[in-house]
A and B are shown apart, each in its own frame.
Chain A
Amino acid sequence: EAGVVQSPRYKIIEKKQPVAFWCNPISGHNTLYWYRQNLGQGPELLIRYENEEAVDDSQLPKDRFSAERLKGVDSTLKIQPAELGDSAVYLCASSLALDSSYEQYFGPGTRLTVT
């Protein structure tokens, strides 16, 4: 079974530029999460999708961040414009509604560096 796929793995951009990250969850997983992990810290949730619907986006900085999950499968997270403080690893995870523990499976992450 293929895991969560993310691209790109690494991205370096200048501040004020836009950037986008892509995530393909595990097949059949209806719940998708985007987390941000700052250096030396644990991940923090940005947004959670149940199928196509964003059900928890309270931590998403909506002035510059946007996300979409068309057709309830792939998802894209966008930052426009990027700021120096956005440098972090962006992790995508997915889980299955029928999994009793709601274990979240994580992708390898996208390491963003804003210069």
Chain B
Amino acid sequence: AQKITQTQPGMFVQEKEAVTLDCTYDTSDPSYGLFWYKQPSSGEMIFLIYQGSYDQQNATEGRYSLNFQKARKSANLVISASQLGDSAMYFCAMREGPETSGSRLTFGEGTQLTVNP
């Protein structure tokens, strides 16, 4: 079974509108972390936001927020007020194990976001 599933290969949004990128995960480990990375066409992976499995509140970082629904095993990324520069590939990733371990990240297949003017 896929550990990280991103069901939207591509998404389109109008500039200044909000968009939600879906991510579901599968793990039996009670301790895990969920990450979102942005990868522009230039190729670098840019960290956006992190949610720990024991965090009580949804993570927020500027225009990015993570809608964490633990019972449904989903960790959707919400981008508010989209900008043209947000056009990129977005990856959801999971680290299994406690925060004190530098274990591997398992990535989803990504969602290509296009922001239209």
Chain A 98-114, CB-CB to B under 8 Å as 1, else 0, gives 00111111111101000
Number of residue pairs spanning A and B whose beta carbons lie under 8 angstroms apart? 65
Q: Is the CB of A101 within 8 A of B109?
A: no
**Chain B residues, Cβ within 8 Å of A106:** 37, 44-46
Instruction: Count residues of chain B with CB under 8 A from any CB of chain A.
Output: 27
Measured in the bound complex, the distance between the Cα atoms of B9 and A42 in whole Å is: 12
Given A42-B91, A43-B45, A89-B43, do A101 and B99 touch, yes or no (CB 8 Å)? yes
Of B46, B50, B110, which contacts A42 at CB under 8 A? Answer: B110
For B43, the closest partner residue in chain A by CB is: A109
**Is the beta-carbon distance between B43 and A48 smaller than 8 angstroms?**
no
Are B52 and A101 in contact, with the CB atoms below 8 A? yes
CB-nearest residue of chain A to B98:
A102
Within 8 A of B (CB), among A76-115: 89, 91, 93, 95, 97, 100-109, 111
Smallest Cβ-Cβ distance to A97: which chain B residue: B102
Residues 78-104 (chain B) with a chain A CB within 8 angstroms: 91, 93, 95, 99-104
A29 to chain B, nearest CB (A): 10
Among B43, B100, B101, find the residue whose CB has the most chain A CB atoms closer than 10 A. Answer: B43
Knowing A101-B99, A108-B43, A111-B43 are in contact, say whether A56-B91 is a contact too (CB < 8 A). Answer: no
Taking a contact as CB atoms under 8 Å apart, the answer to whether B44 and A108 are in contact is: yes
* Residues of chain A within 8 A of B12, CB atoms compared: none
Given the complex, which residues of A lie within 8 Å of B107, measured CB to CB?
42-44
- The distance in angstroms between the C-alpha atoms of A31 and B2, with both chains bound, is 26
A residues with a Cβ closer than 8 A to B are 31, 33, 40-45, 48, 50, 56, 89, 91, 93, 95, 97, 100-109, 111
The 6 closest A-B pairs by CB, nearest first: A42-B107, A106-B45, A31-B102, A45-B104, A101-B50, A108-B44
